[in-house]
Amino acid sequence: MTSDASPSRRAVLGLAAAAVPAALLATGAAPASAATAVGGERLGLDGIQVSLGGAPRVPHLAAQSWLVADCENGEVLAAYRAHHRLPPASTLKMLFAATVLPKFDKAQKHRVAAADLAGIPEGSSLVGVEAGTTYTVDQLWHGVFLRSGNDAVHVLSAMNGGVPATVREMAAKAVDLQALDTHVVSPDGYDHPGQVSSAYDLSLFARHGLRNTDFRAYCGTRIAEFPARGGKKFQIQNTDRLLGVYKGMIGVKNGYTTHAGNTFTGAATRDGRTLLVTVMHPVNGYDQVYKDTSALLDWGFRAAGKVTPVGTLVAPVSEGGRPAAAGTPAPGPNAAKAGSGGSGGSSSSWPLFGAGGGAAALLAAGTVALRNRRPRRTRKH
């Protein structure tokens, strides 16, 4: 972000600096109004949004939210409750990577201190980072992408100035990407009160990240070696169950917590076309999120060129995207071109830095509510 930003851009980015109480955020709430929905009015409507034309019917899914988009031009081919705010689980690590990954050379080494690993939430997924062992940044990112390791996220956050600083940077990045449904509380996506995102925002994170060569390589890596004590190494495998299984699959990130359920953003390329699919919270558990993603990708490849887009994945503000905020009409489906791209400690001690979604809903709707929360359990990935 440059220092000569226009006043309107500063106003939008300023949302990231405001602390928003968790009690004021609407977990699972709809956007304030369709007219202000980022990416187009139809993306703010309830129900399946699609203009079939000669395309096949969209498969029936039982997920709470989903979206299918063209990764290159940003056209949203179909969506269901695209801006519905839900806990993101480890898919939020896409925003963490988009924020932090460009800041460190892959060959840089870091000897992990015990303080780097302090406060990792109980039940977190771990790759096996140990205090006293030296890791390269490249190895830590493999731990983030393949094993969704909150310990690797914690160490990279420590290298980045600490968890609170990283949360602030992620919040600012989300606002720049116009991911205004997202409220960042932790770098890793673990269940924390008020931490939410949407199928639309997760798709923005994936699209932006995939334009970074390293991001794309990490999310598409199936197997890697990770350091252990005494100079030894052990093998880690990617928890994305579609890699190497679904034709053309290139990534990106899955997630699961007891509260968030299963969430997945996947991208695949066929015949020169790359599609993005995000599925949030299918009702039938772990395997279903992959089945739903596969079904939507299959539909998208058949429907591409036969449907009229119902919206767009907008460009970042820093790259010329028209800022969209509460009270401002959202850009239409063709308003923006493709953008470019080049776990934390106890939540009780963290400030809640909003990325704009919770605050926007509060200003526009005047009233919000939190869903009842279930106890945390072991994080699967």
Give residue 93's pLDDT. Answer: 98
Closest CA to 286 of 254, 260, 257, 262: 262
Active-site residue set: 90, 93, 148
Give residue 378's pLDDT. Answer: 39
Give residue 144's pLDDT. Answer: 98
Give residue 360's pLDDT. Answer: 35
Cβ neighbours around 33 below 10 Å, total: 16
Tokens 């395997």, residue located? 287
- From CA 261, how far away is CA 255, in angstroms rounded? 8
Give residue 324's pLDDT. Answer: 81
Helix (H) or strand (E) holding 140: helix 137-147
Give residue 259's pLDDT. Answer: 82
Alpha-carbon separation of residue 122 from 82, 113, 176 (angstroms)? 31, 19, 32
10-residue stretch averages of pLDDT, the chain, 381 residues long: 34 35 37 78 96 92 96 98 97 98 98 95 94 97 98 98 98 98 96 96 98 98 95 95 97 92 97 97 88 98 95 97 60 31 28 36 30 37 57
The predicted model scores a pTM of: 0.80
Surface-to-core class of residue 22, CB atoms within 10 Å of its CB (0-12 exposed, 13-18 middle, 19+ buried)? middle
